Amino acid sequence: MKLMFLGAPGAGKGTQAEVVSERYNIPAISTGALLREAMANGTELGMKAKSYIDGGALVPDDVVIGIIKERLVADDCKNGFILDGFPRTVAQAKALDEMDIKMDGVVSIEVEDDAIIRRLGGRRLCGKCGSSYHVDYKPTAVAGVCDKCGGELITRADDKPEVIKSRLDVYHEQTEPLKDFYAAKGVLKPVIGQEKIEDTTALTIAAIESIRG
């Protein structure tokens, strides 16, 4: 099964992708996570991406298309995968078409902008293993400490209030048109993002089960 999550930054794509990945035993592939890993490792790719990411802009299409091409040929993608945060532009979606990759379902998590702004402000990330948390919606057992590895929690540079607005603008201008793109292919499954993570999960699973028939 090939699935994709669409939605504004902070809509819950990554969180839901993690749950769906475990449930259906297919890898969740996040271009954002791959780029952050490259930045943490100080690779050429990471250094190239940093200024775009920290400023809330999109990394150029050719760079992310290259990353995704390389990742999708890995063995663990044979039985399917979940794309989280790719594509973000129509050009990226067309690149998937050119690779002959046909999505079975595109789950679009719908969350209003004002809720996104509240959510992103409380989002935290483990500086060591990359696990994601939220001070209200997904708190750690011990404040500021990762449940999984004991690492210190940090706020992503691009979750700072001044950057959030640009990321939302970018989403509306460049990524939201993908809803029409996939609706025209008959694979779009809108899910209304709920306050509680598990409620969104229930709707997401129902949408995926409707695809599986």
What residues are annotated to the active site? Answer: 13, 88, 123, 156, 167
Cβ neighbors of 195 (< 8 A, separation 6 or more) are 137
- The CA distance from 175 to 19, in Å, is 23
Q: Judge whether 158 and 54 are in contact, CB under 8 Å.
A: yes
Cβ neighbors of 166 (< 8 A, separation 6 or more) are 55, 56, 57
- The CA distance from 52 to 72, in Å, is 24
Map the footprint of ligand AMP across residues 122-181, applying CB under 6 A. Answer: 158, 167
Identified binder of ligand AMP from the candidate list 86, 164, 168, 208, rule CB under 6 A: 86
126 SS3 class: strand
- The CA distance from 146 to 132, in Å, is 9
35 binds ligand AMP (CB under 6 A): yes
Taking CB under 6 A as the binding criterion, the range among 57-65, 124-132, 138-146, 178-186 that sits at the site for ligand AMP is: 57-65
CB closer to ligand AMP out of 163 and 212: 163
53 binds ligand AMP (CB under 6 A): yes
Q: Judge whether 130 and 33 are in contact, CB under 8 Å.
A: yes
CB closer to ligand AMP out of 110 and 202: 110
92 binds ligand AMP (CB under 6 A): yes
88 binds ligand AMP (CB under 6 A): yes
CB of 4 to ligand AMP, least distance (A): 11
Provide the 8-state DSSP code for 151.
Answer: P
CB closer to ligand AMP out of 64 and 207: 64
Q: Tell me the site size for ligand AMP, rule CB under 6 A.
A: 18
Q: Under the rule (CB under 6 A), what is the footprint of ligand AMP?
A: 9, 30-32, 35, 52-53, 57-59, 64, 85-88, 92, 158, 167
